[in-house]
Chain A
Amino acid sequence: MNIYSAISSNKYKTWLIMLLFVLIITTVVYVFSKALGYGLELAGIALILAGITSIGSYYYSDKIVLATSAAVPIKKSDNPELFRLVENLCIGDGLPMPKIYVINDLSPNAFATGRDPKHAIICVTTGILSLLDKTELEGVIAHELSHIKNFDIRLMGIVAVLVGFIAILANLFTNHLWWGGFGRSRDDRNGNAQMILLLIGIILAILTPVIATLIQLAVARKREFLADASGVLLTRYPEGLASALEKISKDPHSLKTANNATAHLFIINPFKGKDTKKWFTSLFDTHPPVEERIKILRSM
């Protein structure tokens, strides 16, 4: 996989995910409306709504991701060193200057989003700015710029919004199912509605592994290795990124504003410690082991 095949495969997979989203939503609604005796109208409405959501997420996934992460934009005067660092690396990569956002959180992490290099955003936490020195930060930013250059950001943004949307719903319903949110009520008036919710829950529970597989497919772990490698090609200093990854992975703070839908965007899995042992989180395990990445970087 080189950068040019990565770009075209990313563009193609983006369309595929958008299409699958519309298909899944419409099918689910169709099955339900059939079962409950409604006509085709519901499925038609679902088709239109899913289509709008799909196309909307193509243009607005970055804004949604930034909003759910509680990221705020900063100006050059707020952090001139960071801006200079990004400017320099952009010149080295021949990319236009992205916008820079900051998340006020102790957990050190970073991600890039947007739909193409002209509409790109790099987001860092205040934790990473205080934890890393200049060469390490350079390694991290170069890694993120590679995601921008490869059009990873477009695909990952769409995945975050569309697949994440279903995943969060499924997560919500399965948790309620397991912990007895439904079916315990003895209120007969609500019985029918409860049944419907239960059905949705079951369907979504079945869909969850499928969705997880979709995410896995889309965010192929190779992507992180490729971004590591092409980032290093830019900085010419593998040790910078290697020691950055080491420091970030040793830090105990979890990123509060990250969730299952956005986890795959970050340079390192934002869930730390015992969180990672939950079956649901491990299903969405989107990052290759840090030790492996560091080992590869150190052997360059």
Chain B
Amino acid sequence: MNNTLIIFAVILIIGAFAWYLYNSIIVAKIRVSEALSHIDVQLERRTDLIPNLVEAVKGYAKHERELFEKVTQARANLVSAKGPEEKAEANNQLSKTLKSIFAVAESYPDLKASQNFMELQEELSDTENKIAYARQFYNSNVLNYNAKLQVFPNVLFAKLLNFKEAEFFGATEAEKKPVKVSF
């Protein structure tokens, strides 16, 4: 009688612990995917702006065809990219080609002075900032989630339930380490 009671209590405790663990991992996982959707919103805004930019530049610099193709290609790559790492890579490529567009614009004073172009430039740089912040938020959530999966005893449950670590979004090595705030 006493033994069954003890066994029952132990099972109950382990069950409650597993429940708590599972929920906390799921919450962290949801936060990661939510943070990723924040990046996606900004990436989409960026890809939406690019055709307008290309049109604006075309009006002044028709013969830079090669450059336009590059940008369009980079944009298409970003649109079709799957998963955080691929998206981060495609986004970097797009940033590079955009830089060359703005470099070309330097030699067309009329283009540089046009209201439309200036607005687009501002919008794009704002979006770039927002992507940077969204990335920071995403990566800190990934860090939190991955840490949850790696510590003992969570690691046992995580393996058992087949939780996989989340990918960082183009993070530097320093960002992959936790930041300590202490008093």
Interface residues of A (CB under 8 A from B): 1-2, 84, 87-89, 91-94, 222, 225-226, 229-230, 233-234, 236
Evaluate contact between A87 and B181: CB separation under 8 angstroms.
Answer: no
Number of interchain pairs (Cβ within 8 Å):
36
Evaluate contact between A233 and B181: CB separation under 8 angstroms.
Answer: yes
User: Knowing A88-B130, A88-B133 touch, does A94 contact B181 (C-beta < 8 A)?
Assistant: no
Interface residues of B (CB under 8 A from A): 31, 34-35, 38, 42, 126, 129-130, 133-134, 136-137, 141, 179, 181, 183
Main secondary structure of the interface of A (DSSP, over half): helix
Point out the residues of chain B lying under 8 angstroms from A236, CB to CB.
Answer: 136
Point out the residues of chain B lying under 8 angstroms from A222, CB to CB.
Answer: 183
Evaluate contact between B181 and A229: CB separation under 8 angstroms.
Answer: yes
Evaluate contact between A92 and B134: CB separation under 8 angstroms.
Answer: yes
Evaluate contact between A89 and B133: CB separation under 8 angstroms.
Answer: yes
User: Knowing A225-B183, A233-B179 touch, does A94 contact B38 (C-beta < 8 A)?
Assistant: yes
> What 7 A-B pairs are tightest by C-beta distance, nearest first?
A92-B133, A91-B133, A229-B181, A88-B133, A91-B134, A94-B137, A92-B136
Cα distance, A91 to B138, chains bound together (Å): 10
Please name the residue on chain B nearest to A232 by beta carbon: B181
Given contacts A2-B181, A88-B129, A234-B136, 14 further A-B contacts (CB under 8 A): A1-B183, A84-B129, A88-B130, A91-B133, A91-B137, A92-B134, A92-B137, A94-B31, A94-B34, A94-B38, A222-B183, A226-B183, A229-B181, A233-B179
Evaluate contact between B181 and A91: CB separation under 8 angstroms.
Answer: no
Q: Which of these, B31, B34, B38, B141, contacts A91 with CB under 8 Å? A: B38
Give, as a whole number of angstroms, the nearest-CB distance from B34 to chain A. 8
Point out the residues of chain A lying under 8 angstroms from B134, CB to CB.
Answer: 91-92
A-B contact pairs, 13 of them (CB 8 A): A1-B183, A2-B181, A84-B126, A84-B129, A88-B129, A88-B130, A89-B133, A91-B130, A92-B133, A94-B137, A94-B141, A230-B181, A236-B136
Please name the residue on chain A nearest to B31 by beta carbon: A94
Give, as a whole number of angstroms, the nearest-CB distance from B39 to chain A. 9
